Amino acid sequence: MLNIKCPWCGERPEVEFRCGGESHIQRPGPHTEVSDEAWANYLFYRDNPKGVLFERWVHSGGCGEWFNVARNTVTHEILAVYQMTDPKPVLEDPKE
Amino acid sequence: MSAYRLENGGYIDRSQQISFQFDGKKLSGFQGDTLASALLANHVDVIGRSFKYHRPRGILAAGLDEANAIMQIGSGAESSPNLKATQVELIEGLQARSVNAWPSLKFDLLAVNAVFKRFLPAGFYYKTFMWPDWHWFEPAIRNAAGLGKSPDQPDPDIYDKRSADCDILVIGGGICGLMAARLAAESGANVLLVEVDSAWGGSALCWPTLIDDSDAASWCASTVAELHQKPNVVVLNRTMAFGYYDHNLVGLVQRLVPAQSDGLTPRERMWKVRAKTVVLATGAFERPLVFPNNDRPGVMLASAGASYVSRFGVAVGRKVLIATNNDSAYESAFVLKEAGVDVVALVDARASAASEVTQRAQDMGLVIISNSTVTNVKGSSGLRSAEVCELNADNQPVAKSRRSIQCDSVLTSGGWSPAVHLFSQSGGKLKFDDETQAFVPKRSVQNEISIGAAAGIFELGASLAHAQDRIGTVLKSLNLSAKPTETSVSKHAGLGAIKSLWSVEGEMLDRPGAKAWVDFQNDVTSSDVKLALRENFRSVEHVKRYTTLGMASDQGKTSNVNGIGVMSVELRCDPGDVGTTKFRPPYNPLTIGAFAGRRVGENLNPLRPLPSAARQIELGAKLEDYGGWHRPAYYVERGQSEHECVSKEVLATRNSLGLFDASPLGKIEVFGPDAAEFLNRIYANNMKTLKVGRCRYGLMLNENGIIYDDGILARIAEDHYLVGTTSGHASAIADMLQEWLQCEWVHLDVATSNVTTNWAVMNVNGPKARALLEKFDSSFDFGAHAFPHMHFREGELEGVPCRIQRVSFSGELSYEVSVPWGYGASLFDNIMVLGEEFAIQPFGVESLMTMRIEKGFLHVGSDTDGMTVPQDVGFGRIVEKKTDDFVGRRSIMRPDALRSGRRQLVGLDVTDGGDALPIGGHVVDQGQSPPTASRGWVTSSVFSPTLSKPVALGLVEGGADRIGDEIEIWDLGTRRRARIVAPGAYDAKGERLHV
């Protein structure tokens, strides 16, 4: 079980959170101009890296805030926690 | 076997006699005994039958590595299956039963399996029982191969859970673990020290040791007592670390005494501990030697033989032969010899060499037979002799050198395997160490250290020095320090120069039928392992699954490394190249109760009560679970069927007045300058145009365009909406709104608040609803023009803040009256009292559903499924007209969402004069029988009390264009006739709503 550092509440166990999947997904629009393929990519296609994955999590059992987490999918090491509106950080993964 | 209780010695209290039963036989032991030691002391040699061949088995070990002594403990609801006799503390009245023997231990009919054992090699399931059908054989095989039985009554015991965190978690209360805990405690760190056994001391309980010139047991006792006194230390025995998870989370299960349920004390407590550093002082397991018939009762681990003497005052035999490939068994031999047991010989696989231990052995008068090993044991009831052979340069026994030595038990040591289970679960990598012939920790992934035998250091003095050094490093990393104490320990044999000797086979001695056991509990022999390799199963994981090696409840504690050794010999490679199988939690079996904790029975998924809950029971409501709420299905009338009760409620409501506690309805307030813009993006229909004080039905999609929820929205002010959701979706939608606001539309100035349980809602329903509400002292004008259908008003009712929406799911004049939750019960009561003159009738969910089906209103989840888009339920024109984007907008433009022939919601008018249509019945074209295409199905169906005929809704392919078509409903061989109609069998024009 992960130990996640909520930017508002500090380190809390994973059971207090919910993972919302990959972050930094751009919702395409306007809808009248989005191709079926682009829409399908947005809806269904996600990265599944062996290494760093940028995810969004919500402290559902706590403050209710969403934030981003950079997590190594192999070691489960959490490399960064940052605001929803922050850009994707550039990380050097020591494990890779 | 001729085990017996010694006159002296052991940490048992000979003045405290304890009686217990084994297989119905009355026996007695002493305070401090385990079930295993007490059975040995009572000369019980056969304690069970083996899993596959039903061979008689005796006790193998003294700890949780025991493979044979699997017991059913207790009876009735308190019965626990598959406990190891070596872990069961003896208590007064304990009832133990052997498992896996039928009809009895002494006379096991299934022992014929042993005669036919050549038919049951590795993979026999896959090869033998394929024809005609595995399921034909399965029940008999399962019966033959079963272990204990789970009790058939609910567990009466209480189980508890708690979370904790600490700086240093020390797992293992042996000498190294205690030393580590003491140093950590002195540094001021928060320390949690756990030991799976009831007794502290680990190997000191097996081999007597002097620490600082005092007996190790008293050193352990005083150290534990000292730690108990410290405020920064928690000390738990009978506590097993069963799993090592991410981010240094370790799962513990603490067994609490008394073992018998007193209804107050939990039986077990599960701890979830987050530690900054974990110290693994988990010790090591001795490996048995693998030789023909090594599974016979009377063959045990050497350290177990020493433990039974040192800890329990039990000698495992009168004439004991000890066989080994390392020095540690000498230490065990000394223990037995000093207790007065006749050690007939020390058979050592290694060439003779002068060393401290051999010298000591000779000084004690022990006979050492070098360069030899045990190759067989004999004796039909009880061991009589062991066969010993010399080994040649290739480690093969020399047949002509064989000789027989009389003995009644054989103790073996094939080396030691560090208990690296938790280390490995943490992600740590192992290596095979040639010098110790053991898998040892190589590289850590999480914050942990291994010390003592768990680190592969088997000599106590060296172990302690290493442990102190490692703890010093850990403390430094936590900015703490403690001064290592000078501790002198008595010289221990350790492992010495171990010689690799993985197995001796019957084939080597021209006795191919004599099998050598690797895994006792799952009955896997060395020839099974070799067969798997011959059949080209090369990966250790494949060999494990094909042979079932290490898959028993002991998870191969004594067998895995021996199996890997046998593989390495056959594959001519290093055991390290074979590798280990993956170590997974739990380290040792634990109860499901420990995982369940207090979440059992009604606490598993507690139902939420209505504000009027107490009154519901008085009114005779049949309460059921609707989306986590305890709500009335209908009100029970004596002697009447459910349908009759529902009919009465429906007719009373339609003719006069009904009351429904609708409090679970989801209520989410949405505030802010961008509230209208936001909700317009959330709903499939336009929400910007909704006028203040009015309500609108809203359809909510998910991003895949599928209908997710529906409800009534009210606009309270320009920048303030009240979103109504279905009862089951309230919190999920509250979460979803926040996800969109926080993650996607971050610039919208909107706040939301889920107020579902702030407001109780009483739905006053029926033609007399207005007349009833007018009887209240309120600020509302209920006049038809002042407060029309689909309008929202705020005010006061009997001096209490009140919100009213005039909306209807029944098709009648209907008001949803909201008051603060705490006033809900009294509002319900007042409506009931004031409604008497209108013969008010409370109604339940079933009646509401009946009325909405009569009315043709859809119910999301009943009349829609995971493929239903708005166009399928008559919302095509509405979404077409809306030019703005909204959640799911692009998805309902997909070709599939736009194609003709989609399943659409329609009404079904029954034309055959029969009863209600079966829900789920398939719509087929007239005159067709299966096999034929299903054109859809019935989604909602009741016999309408109002119309005195069946009414139904269904999803039918191209349904909107087929109004008037005659179709048939086919369900489980029955055939019904119906006509497709527009939904809404009752008051299609809505005249009853606008009164």
pLDDT, tens digit (0-9, with 9 covering 90-100), for B390-442: 999 888 999 899 999 999 999 999 999 999 999 999 999 999 999 999 999 99
Task: Kindly tell me the burial class for residue B775, based on how many C-beta atoms sit within 10 Å of its own C-beta (0-12, 13-18, 19 or more).
Answer: middle
Q: Strand B159-171 to strand B25-31: parallel, antiparallel, or no bridges (unpaired)?
A: unpaired
Return the closest-CA partner of residue B79 out of B67, B95, B66.
B95
Residue B883: other Cβ atoms inside 10 A: 10
Contacts of A37 in chain B (CB under 8 A): none
Q: Does residue A96 form part of some domain?
A: no
Residue A32 carries which side chain, given as an amino acid letter? Answer: T
Superfamily of B159-285+418-477 according to CATH? FAD/NAD(P)-binding domain (3.50.50.60)
Tell me: pLDDT of B149 over 90: no
Q: Does residue A87 form part of some domain?
A: no
Whole-angstrom CA distances from B182 to B193, B228, B235, B553, B773 are 10, 11, 11, 34, 74
Q: How far apart are CA B266 and CA B160, in angstroms?
A: 6
Residues 6+ apart with CB under 8 A from B575: B432, B437, B439, B561, B564, B565, B567, B568
Phi, psi at residue B322, to the nearest 5°?
A: -120, 130
Contact B163 A13 (CB under 8 A): yes
Contacts of B890 in chain A (CB under 8 A): 28-29, 31, 34, 39
Structural domain boundaries in chain B: 4-112, 159-285+418-477, 288-414, 503-571, 900-981
Contacts of A1 in chain B (CB under 8 A): 245-247, 249, 272
3-state class percentages of chain A: helix first, strand second, coil last, to nearest 5: 15, 35, 50
| CATH number belonging to domain B288-414 | 3.50.50.60
For residue B753, give the chain A residue with the closest CA: A64
Q: What's the pLDDT at B121?
A: 67
Q: How far apart are CA B253 and CA B167, in angstroms?
A: 19
CATH number 3.40.718.10 given to B4-112: no
For residue B426, give the chain A residue with the closest CA: A75
CATH code for the domain of A72 = 3.30.2270.10
What is the number of CB-based contacts under 8 A between chain A and chain B? 57
Q: How far apart are CA B730 and CA B711, in angstroms?
A: 11
> pLDDT-based confidence at B54, cuts 50/70/90?
confident
Q: How far apart are CA B537 and CA B341, in angstroms?
A: 45
| Same fold yes or no, B159-285+418-477 and B503-571 | no
Locus of tokens 């940490």:
B11
Q: How far apart are CA A39 and CA B751, in angstroms?
A: 29
Q: Please give the biggest Cα pair distance in chain B.
A: 114
Strands in B602-694 per DSSP E: 608-609, 621-626, 629-635, 658-661, 666-671
Phi-psi domain of B588 (left: phi exceeds 0; alpha: psi -120 through 50; beta: other): beta
Return the closest-CA partner of residue B883 out of B677, B683, B686.
B686
Return the closest-CA partner of residue B547 out of B146, B57, B52.
B52
For residue B743, give the chain A residue with the closest CA: A84
ipTM for the whole complex: 0.97
Tell me: pLDDT of B486 over 70: yes
Q: Does residue A95 form part of some domain?
A: no
Phi, psi at residue B252, to the nearest 5°?
A: -120, 150
* Rounded average pLDDT over B102-126: 60
Cα B58–Cα B62–Cα B65 angle in degrees, nearest 5: 90
Q: Which of B78-87, B108-117, B724-733, B758-767 has the lowest mean pLDDT?
A: B108-117
Residues 6+ apart with CB under 8 A from B929: B970, B975
Q: Does residue A23 form part of some domain?
A: yes
Whole-angstrom CA distances from A49 to A53, A55, A71 are 6, 12, 10
Around B327, how many Cα atoms within 13 Å sit in the side-chain half-sphere?
18
pLDDT, tens digit (0-9, with 9 covering 90-100), for B685-708: 999 999 999 999 999 999 999 999
Tell me: pLDDT of B548 over 70: yes
* Rounded average pLDDT over B543-562: 92
Contact B744 A39 (CB under 8 A): no
Q: What's the pLDDT at B135?
A: 65
> pLDDT-based confidence at B77, cuts 50/70/90?
confident
pLDDT, tens digit (0-9, with 9 covering 90-100), for B273-319: 999 999 999 999 999 999 999 999 999 999 999 999 999 999 999 99
Q: Does residue A51 form part of some domain?
A: yes
Phi, psi at residue B951, to the nearest 5°?
A: -130, 150
Q: Which of B212-216, B341-345, B816-820 has the lowest mean pLDDT?
A: B212-216
Contact B272 A13 (CB under 8 A): yes
Contacts of B163 in chain A (CB under 8 A): 13
Query: Running DSSP on this structure, what letter comes out for residue B741?
Result: I
Residues 6+ apart with CB under 8 A from A34: A28, A42, B890
Q: Which of A52-61, A78-87, B547-556 has the lowest mean pLDDT?
A: B547-556
B503-571 architecture in CATH?
A: Orthogonal Bundle (1.10)
Q: Is the N-terminal amide bond of B586 cis, ω within 30° of 0?
A: yes
Residue B285: other Cβ atoms inside 10 A: 26
Superfamily of B900-981 according to CATH? Aminomethyltransferase beta-barrel domains (2.40.30.110)
| Percent of chain B scoring above 70 in pLDDT | 95
Residue B452, classed as helix, strand or coil, is: helix
Q: Which of B252, B743, B893 to mutate to test the interface with A (most CBs of A within 10 A)?
A: B743
CB of B815 closer than 8 Å to CB of B769: yes
Q: Is the N-terminal amide bond of B103 cis, ω within 30° of 0?
A: yes
pLDDT, tens digit (0-9, with 9 covering 90-100), for B593-649: 999 999 998 899 899 999 999 999 999 999 999 989 999 999 999 999 999 999 999
Residue ranges in B354-480 assigned as alpha helix (H): 356-363, 421-425, 460-477
Return the closest-CA partner of residue B769 out of B816, B705, B731.
B816
Q: How far apart are CA B947 and CA B934, in angstroms?
A: 29
Contacts of A30 in chain B (CB under 8 A): 885
Confidence (pTM): 0.90
User: Which range of residues forms the domain containing residue A27?
Assistant: 3-82
Helix (H) or strand (E) holding B184: helix B175-186
| Percent of chain B scoring above 90 in pLDDT | 84
CB of B550 closer than 8 Å to CB of B544: yes
3-state class percentages of chain B: helix first, strand second, coil last, to nearest 5: 25, 30, 40
Q: Does B595 touch chain A (CB under 8 A)?
A: no
Contacts of B272 in chain A (CB under 8 A): 1, 13
Locus of tokens 């303030």:
B720
Instruction: Calculate the CA B106 to chain-centre distance.
Output: 36
Q: Please give the biggest Cα pair distance in chain A.
A: 44
Q: How far apart are CA A24 and CA A35, in angstroms?
A: 20
User: Of B246, B739, B890, which is closest to A58 when you measure between CB atoms?
Assistant: B739
Contact B249 A3 (CB under 8 A): yes
User: Of A13, A31, A66, which is closest to B890 when you measure between CB atoms?
Assistant: A31
Q: Does residue A89 form part of some domain?
A: no
> pLDDT-based confidence at A96, cuts 50/70/90?
very low
pLDDT, tens digit (0-9, with 9 covering 90-100), for B737-775: 999 999 999 999 999 999 999 999 999 999 999 999 999
Query: Running DSSP on this structure, what letter comes out for residue B859?
Result: -
Phi, psi at residue B311, to the nearest 5°?
A: -95, -35
User: Of A27, A29, A76, which is closest to B246 when you measure between CB atoms?
Assistant: A76
Total domains, chain A: 1
Contacts of A58 in chain B (CB under 8 A): 735, 738-739, 742
Q: How far apart are CA B632 and CA B610, in angstroms?
A: 9
